[in-house]
Amino acid sequence: MSRKPFIAGNWKMNLTIAEGVELAKAVAAVANDAPTVDVAVCPTFVSVAKVADAVKSTALMVGAQDTFWETKGAWTRQIAPNMLADAGCQWVIVGHSETRGRFGGLSEEVQAKLAEVPGYFGESDKSVNMKAKAIFAAGLLPIIACGELPSEYEAGKTDEVVAGQIRADIAGFTEEQAMKMVIAYEPVWAIGTGNTCDPQTADKVCGVIRNTVKEVYGEKVAEAVRIQYGGSVKPGNAKELLSMPNIDGALVGGAALKAADFAGIIEAAK
């Protein structure tokens, strides 16, 4: 089955509203010229509505970087999926390693500080699963991120860790929802570090993810589901990564912040 490549930019905690709108307009022009590729940008919560408004008649889609599983109420700090839909989002990233408290490209000093904060961001497979269900219920689609820590990679536990995360993260969806979910394999040691996972290894792990989806939802869903690779994707390495049979797109951090770099990655996906 052919799966439409999906390139998504995670802007993280970067760009003012005006800068986000400007970048999104530039990316939208590239997305309009790439009808064979799905393209999305995921701005900060405060920029989502303005960015979505600026690109609403273009091919560029907009996502958020997280959400909560409730729809309203006394939940200080939280944003509900229906609010993101109202702001013009179509996608929501859940389970990013930076919200799970599994950090890659930070200095040891910063990681040690964060480790002292109990439950920092507090994301677990259970909360990822609850959020994904709430995202579907609001008519949005999740990009479910998973990936192993450097220590797990070095101990040869990548396949086991990633399959375990995915089994828990995707439990209890309908078949229709499972067909539409997107999974992003992001080895934590490759995020923001410049250390890209080599394409063969990334493809092998994406294959493990596809097999896990097959165990849970069967062959039809496993063949339909799109699996992105994320971790220091750049215009120079995108083509090789995206040519691998189990890699259907990219979740891009740093290189999504410059229109020319992000355009190079979209070009590589054509």
Question: Which amino acids are annotated catalytic?
Answer: 96, 186
Spell 46-84 as b/e; 16+ CB within 10 A means b.
ebbbbbbebbeebbbbbbbbbbbbeeeeeeeeebbbbbb
Give the nearer residue to ligand PEP in terms of CB position, either 38 or 186.
186
Q: Does 187 sit near ligand PEP (CB under 6 A)? A: no
The Cα 237–Cα 228 span in angstroms is: 14
Strands of the chain (E only): list them. 6-10, 38-42, 61-64, 91-94, 141-146, 182-185, 226-230, 249-252
Give the nearer residue to ligand PEP in terms of CB position, either 206 or 251.
251
User: Closest residue (Cβ) to ligand PEP?
Assistant: 253
38, 186, 203, 261: residue in contact with ligand PEP (rule CB under 6 A) = 186
Give the nearer residue to ligand PEP in terms of CB position, either 106 or 130.
106
Residues 153-172 that bind ligand PEP (CB under 6 A): none
- x/- site string to ligand PEP, residues 211 to 250, per CB under 6 A? -------------------xxxx-----------------
251, 263, 266, 268: residue in contact with ligand PEP (rule CB under 6 A) = 251
Give the nearer residue to ligand PEP in terms of CB position, either 81 or 105.
105
Q: Does 64 sit near ligand PEP (CB under 6 A)? A: no
Q: Does 192 sit near ligand PEP (CB under 6 A)? A: yes
Q: Does 10 sit near ligand PEP (CB under 6 A)? A: yes
Name every residue whose Cβ is closer than 8 Å to that of residue 56 and which is 6 or more positions away in sequence: 88
Q: What is the DSSP string of 85-145?
A: HHTT--EEEES-HHHHT--SSS-HHHHHHHHTSTTSS---HHHHHHHHHHHHHTT-EEEEE
Distance of CA 154 to the CA centre of its chain: 24
Q: Give least dist CB 218 to ligand PEP, A.
A: 29
Residue ranges in contact with ligand PEP by CB under 6 A = 10, 186, 191-192, 230-233, 251-255
